[in-house]
């Protein structure tokens, strides 16, 4: 019987010259913002393996992954939501779900993909399998007034937390019943620009642009309401101009501390997650955009807004200061660590390259050609809360 089975299998394999089996844990995609393409990459081989076109306007695009890491959901600026099969390297499904979108998130159970939109302001939930629209929550904060939505992040219980730029509020929508979400509202402050859920899923933070401070909501005890931390971190000094909005996500958390970009100051602010007090600040060489911890939390890598976007600073969290500075390329827009952080991939938009560095020696390991690369997203995001 065994023999017959193996003969059968051999015949089957021979007959269809079937592709080699492989997992998805070391795959990823690179957004090519100007040409509506994504390049699929293998982070073990450090090589691209496919390129897919036809994803629309990908300026400010981002991606989340199905929990098996097989499918990427790419959110485009033009409201396009594209489901990409990472193994077959093809578009499975594509819908235009809004006029102007900014990103999205996937639910704890992996069954809902939620897009956050500027126009019309609000969020929309889709069936992750079919991309069928299940429900939406318009960000109508006052009669007839809609807000842009920023900072959408998943949290346990199929809940999504997000902030409303014009409304100055944090909303938490519960999609336990995907077709009938319920929403709670909390005050945030002036012009929240982005948000994050801590890696344990407990806290939602909304960074504020219009005032010095960060709004904080304990999702375990939402009835206690939101509060403000880091109030007046600018100490009343005049802000430096900000030529690009900073970004927040759970990767700002390292070793029990959150490393936050200061707005209008060339500093990274450090907050203790237990006390929510500022415990330090680190001067850096520009307006921080991404302040991203290596998965082990020993390093925090920082890139900068125009005109300092050729620079990178690396903070050593043990020493509490910048330990390495370099200029890897022109227009460094984004970065992503390999699953356990031994390498980092950097997109150099104006060099049309993605650069790969060793995070211990800071040696350059290689590069990949890409057309105006921006976001880099690896499948390890699939298993992380708040991504």
Q: Which two tokens stand for residue 68?
A: 């098996």
Q: Which two tokens stand for residue 155?
A: 């949290």
Handedness of CA 215, 191, 105, 313 (dihedral sign): negative
On whether the CB atoms of residues 144 and 125 are closer than 8 A, the answer is: no
Sites for other proteins among residues 157-216 (CB under 8 A): 165, 191, 193, 209-210
Minimum CB–partner distance for residue 66 and other proteins (Å): 27
Strand ranges of the sheet holding 80-85, from the earlier edge strand across to the other edge: 62-65, 71-75, 80-85, 90-96
Q: Return the residue of 118, 162, 337, 357 that touches other proteins, per CB under 8 A.
A: 118
On whether the CB atoms of residues 96 and 114 are closer than 8 A, the answer is: no
The answer to whether residue 307 forms part of the interface with other proteins (CB under 8 A) is yes
Indicate the residue among 28 and 246 with the shorter CB distance to other proteins.
246
Sites for other proteins among residues 316-375 (CB under 8 A): 331, 349-350, 372
What torsion, rounded to 10 degrees, do the Cα atoms 210, 141, 134, 386 define? Answer: 30
DSSP string covering 80-101: EEEEEETTTTEEEEEEE--SEE
Q: Could you identify the residue written with the tokens 């306007």?
A: 57
Q: Return the residue of 306, 321, 366, 369 that touches other proteins, per CB under 8 A.
A: 306
Rounded Cα distance between 333 and 132, Å, is: 32
Q: Which two tokens stand for residue 132?
A: 């069928």
Minimum CB–partner distance for residue 211 and other proteins (Å): 11
The answer to whether residue 135 forms part of the interface with other proteins (CB under 8 A) is no
Sites for other proteins among residues 219-258 (CB under 8 A): 241-245
Question: Taking the CB of residue 237, how many other CB atoms lie within 10 A of it?
Answer: 9
The answer to whether residue 33 forms part of the interface with other proteins (CB under 8 A) is yes
Minimum CB–partner distance for residue 37 and other proteins (Å): 14
On whether the CB atoms of residues 119 and 98 are closer than 8 A, the answer is: yes
Sites for other proteins among residues 56-115 (CB under 8 A): 57, 59-60, 77-78, 100, 102
Q: Which two tokens stand for residue 226?
A: 């939101």
Indicate the residue among 37 and 191 with the shorter CB distance to other proteins.
191
The answer to whether residue 35 forms part of the interface with other proteins (CB under 8 A) is no
Indicate the residue among 39 and 379 with the shorter CB distance to other proteins.
39
Minimum CB–partner distance for residue 233 and other proteins (Å): 18
Indicate the residue among 133 and 245 with the shorter CB distance to other proteins.
245
Indicate the residue among 99 and 283 with the shorter CB distance to other proteins.
99
Give Cα separations from 232 to 193, 237, 263, 306 (angstroms): 17, 9, 11, 25
Rounded Cα distance between 138 and 136, Å, is: 6
The answer to whether residue 145 forms part of the interface with other proteins (CB under 8 A) is no
Minimum CB–partner distance for residue 245 and other proteins (Å): 6
User: Footprint of other proteins on this chain (CB under 8 A)?
Assistant: 33-34, 57, 59-60, 77-78, 100, 102, 118-119, 148, 150, 165, 191, 193, 209-210, 241-245, 306-307, 331, 349-350, 372
């Amino acid at each position: 019987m065994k023999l017959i089975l193996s003969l059968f299998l051999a015949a089957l394999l021979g007959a269809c010259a079937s592709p080699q089996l492989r997992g998805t844990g070391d795959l990823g995609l690179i957004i090519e913002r100007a040409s509506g393409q994504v390049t699929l990459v293998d982070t073990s081989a450090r090589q691209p393996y496919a390129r897919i076109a036809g994803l629309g306007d990908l300026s400010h695009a981002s991606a989340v992954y199905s929990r098996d890491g097989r499918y990427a959901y790419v959110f485009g600026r033009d409201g396009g939501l594209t489901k990409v099969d990472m193994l077959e390297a093809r578009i499975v499904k594509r819908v235009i779900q809004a006029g102007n979108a900014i990103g999205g998130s996937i639910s704890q159970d992996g069954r809902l993909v939620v897009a956050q939109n500027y126009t019309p302001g609000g969020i929309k939930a889709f069936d992750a399998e079919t991309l069928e629209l299940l429900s939406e929550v318009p960000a109508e904060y006052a009669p007839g007034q809609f807000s842009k939505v920023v900072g959408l992040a998943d949290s346990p219980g199929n809940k999504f937390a997000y902030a409303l730029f014009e409304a100055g509020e944090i909303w938490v929508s519960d999609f336990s019943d995907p077709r009938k979400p319920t929403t709670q509202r909390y005050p945030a402050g002036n012009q929240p620009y982005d948000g994050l859920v801590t890696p344990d899923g407990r806290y939602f933070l909304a960074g504020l642009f219009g005032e010095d401070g960060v709004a904080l909501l304990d999702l375990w005890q939402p009835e206690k309401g939101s509060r403000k931390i880091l109030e007046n971190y600018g100490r009343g000094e005049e802000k430096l101009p900000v030529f690009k909005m900073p970004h927040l996500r759970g990767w700002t958390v390292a070793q029990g501390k959150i490393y936050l970009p200061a707005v209008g100051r060339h500093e990274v602010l450090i907050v203790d997650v237990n006390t929510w007090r500022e415990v330090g600040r680190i001067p850096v060489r520009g307006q921080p955009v991404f302040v991203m911890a290596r998965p082990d939390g020993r390093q925090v890598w920082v890139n900068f807004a125009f005109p300092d976007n050729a620079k990178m600073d690396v903070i050593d969290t043990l020493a509490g200061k910048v330990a390495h500075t370099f200029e890897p390329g022109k227009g460094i827009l984004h970065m992503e660590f390999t699953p356990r952080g031994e390498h980092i991939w950097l997109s150099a938009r104006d060099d049309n390259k993605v650069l790969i560095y060793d995070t211990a020696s800071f040696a350059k390991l290689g590069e990949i050609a890409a057309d105006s690369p921006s976001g880099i997203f690896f499948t390890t995001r699939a298993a992380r809360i708040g991504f």
